[in-house]
Amino acid sequence: MRKGWVIRVKPEKLEEYKELHKNVWPGVLKKLKEVNIQNYTIFYRDGLLFSYLEYTGDDFDADMQKMAADSLTQEWWKLTNPCQEPVETAGEGVWWADMEEVFHMD
C-alpha cells in the first residue's frame, strides 16, 4: 500500500525541521521499519510538506498505533510537531492530511 500526506510547515520552523531530518534518530528509523514502513520520503514546497511511504504489513492501523505508543517516537514528535500545522482542509483532529493517489507507475 502506498500512502501520501500533506501538512504545513511553519515558516519560522522550516530550517529546524530540515535539520532534525538530516539526523533522524536511529531508534525512530528502527521503529518505522518495525511497523512495516519503507521507501519513506518527505518533500517540501511552498510551505507544505508532502510525505510518501510504502506500507508492507497486514494491519496499517494497528502498526500506526504501535508506532504512536513508542516512547522514543513520542519524544521525536515533541520536536517535529511544533514545526507543523495541519492544512485547512485536514478535518477535525487530523494532523497530516491524506492525499489521493491519482497515478502510479512501477
Q: What are the tens digits of pLDDT across the range 66-101?
A: 999 999 999 999 999 999 999 999 999 999 999 999
Within a 10 A sphere around the Cβ of 3, how many other Cβ atoms? 17
**Do 51 and 5 contact (CB within 8 A), yes or no?**
yes
Catalytic residue among 10, 21, 30, 33: 21
Please tell me the distance from the alpha carbon of residue 95 to that of residue 5, in angstroms, as a whole number.
Answer: 9
| pTM of the shown model | 0.91
- pLDDT, residue 22, reads 97
Q: Please count the other Cβ atoms lying within 10 Å of the Cβ belonging to residue 35.
A: 21
Q: pLDDT class for 54, splitting at 50, 70, 90?
A: very high
Domain ranges of the chain: 2-98
Split at pLDDT 50, 70, 90, the class of 40 is very high
104 an active-site residue?
Answer: no
- Please tell me the predicted confidence (pLDDT) of residue 37: 98
Non-local CB neighbours of 4 within 8 Å, separated by 6+ positions: 50, 51, 52, 98, 99, 101
Structure letter (DSSP) for residue 82: G
CATH superfamily of 2-98: Dimeric alpha+beta barrel. (3.30.70.1090)
